[in-house]
A and B are shown apart, each in its own frame.
Chain A
Amino acid sequence: MDCVDIKETVLRGESLSWEAAQHVAACPVCSLALSEQQATASDESLFTDIRRAIDEERGVRAWLRSRPTNVRFALGAGWALAIVALVALLTPRTHYAPMPFAEVAVVLAVLSALGVVALRLELHPLQAPEPSIVAVAGCFAAVLVAPALLAFAPVPQAALFDHYTEFSPPQAAFGCFFIGVMTGVLVVAGLRALDRRTSHSRIGVLVQAAAGAIAGNLALELHCPITRPSHIVFAHATVSLALLALYEFLPRRRAA
């Protein structure tokens, strides 16, 4: 009989055997467990503080984050898709070149699958075991790498588009980068309204940057006609790094 068995016996409400009593008498851990005072009675001031914090849970944000998790997921996905659709409607790709539908469909499918993963990680309920750091880091790495890899996917001749005539390559790159980052910022703002966490750890920031970057790249896939791989790698894929800098490093520098 050891400490684990003795504790399990006590938890079952059974009385201790002679052998168990002998162990308790000789074991510093078990004898300590019996002599240590039980937890204090409920702390009234703590209850008052908790009650006050709950009473302050009012407004739209409180309502949003108290929704069931599947509803929050649907709202988050709907918000992200709405922002992406808005960008696509305001600055459509087809204005400059025919859209290679098959290639765009593949890119949208890959990014959407990553988006579902990121959304699940971002809105996962706290009463469930936490996602592992490996899963989170893997998601972010996939978001960083996927647009870069997809940049080298084959494109039909008719849809090839190297550069604008009215903008220089750096101007075009900056324009896409700006649209991607702003799309990501808007999406993350919506996801934060649904997030139940009080503040954001580094893991939370990584997931948010990933979710925002996916939305940004989805919008860019529907907006940007340029099929040159270097443009996609440097103007689209870097959106995730920019969002990570925005949400992780800038607040830390400001706090310092």
Chain B
Amino acid sequence: MTAYLAGDSAAFRELFSRYGAVLERVMRHRLHRPEDARDLVQQTFLQLHRSRHDFRAGALLRPWLFTIALNMKREYFRRAGRRPESPLELDGHGDPGVAPRGHEQVEATEEVRFALGKIPEDQRDVIALHWLAGIPLPEVASLVGASLSAVKVRAHRGYAAMRHVLKGRRGNLDEG
């Protein structure tokens, strides 16, 4: 980020390589259409560019970037006036930006999104950042604006709820 501020345009490519894919993954779990997720990722990096002079050398970029992303997502839902839709379609199909994936991976991703869609929003945000983005819980706490203990409680409850959802879903599939 410091290099980018100094005018090194290649540094922006490095930033995108490091965070673009994981940001898109986090966005996709809430949004039905891949193009909406891509649009939000694009807006996040655009906001990063606009906010670059607020960045202090030596600060951590990841919490900065993910806070922007979460705020953009909330703004998106307020503008659209809608709640996150249940992601029922398989991921990766018809999306030119995603390489063809094995059936098992596609099914696994679909199960992830199904389970995430069934849990409360505050738990979903924590698990998306912790599980999909791989962000440690102390950092997740600062991103969502809650205490570490509150975030741990949400994570525990969220994972437990997802286990319950997945067991129920797999049971229904087996019966079917």
Chain A residues with a Cβ under 8 A of chain B = 2-4, 7-8, 11, 27-29, 32-33, 35-37, 39-43, 45-47, 49-51, 53-54, 57, 62, 65-69, 125-130, 196-199, 201-203
Contact = CB atoms under 8 A, between A and B. Distances in A.
Chain B: interface secondary structure?
helix
Interface string B126-151: 00001100111100000001000000
Interface of B: 12-13, 16-17, 20-22, 24-25, 38, 41-43, 45-47, 49-54, 64-65, 67-68, 71-72, 74-75, 78-79, 96-99, 101-102, 104-105, 108-109, 111-112, 115, 130-131, 134-137, 145, 152, 155-156, 159, 162-163, 166-167, 170
A53 B24 contact: no
B53 A37 contact: no
A42 B21 contact: yes
Contacts of B42: 46, 49-50, 53
Given A43-B20, A50-B45, A2 B75 contact: no
Contacts of B22: 39
Contacts of B135: 11
A46 B97 contact: yes
A66 B50 contact: yes
B166 A197 contact: no
A69 B79 contact: no
Nearest to B130: A7
Given A27-B163, A40-B98, A196 B50 contact: yes
B21 A57 contact: no
Contact of A47 (B20, B51, B98): B20
Contact of A46 (B41, B47, B64): B41
Contact of B162 (A11, A29, A126, A196): A29
12 contacts: A8-B136, A28-B166, A29-B163, A36-B112, A37-B101, A43-B98, A50-B16, A50-B46, A54-B12, A66-B53, A129-B71, A196-B50
Contacts of B102: 37
Nearest to B126: A4
A46 B24 contact: yes
A251 B100 CA distance: 43
A54 B51 CA distance: 12
Contact of A197 (B21, B52, B75): B75
Nearest to B134: A11
Given A50-B42, A54-B46, A196-B50, A3 B159 contact: yes
B13 A47 contact: yes
B105 A29 contact: no
Nearest to A10: B134
Contacts of A125: 51, 54
Contact of B159 (A29, A43, A51, A53): A29
B163 to A, nearest CB: 5
Nearest to A12: B136
A127 B64 contact: yes
Complex A-B, nearest 4 residue pairs according to Cβ-Cβ distance, in ascending order: A37-B105, A3-B159, A28-B166, A39-B21
A192 B140 CA distance: 31
A130 B74 contact: yes
A36 B105 contact: yes
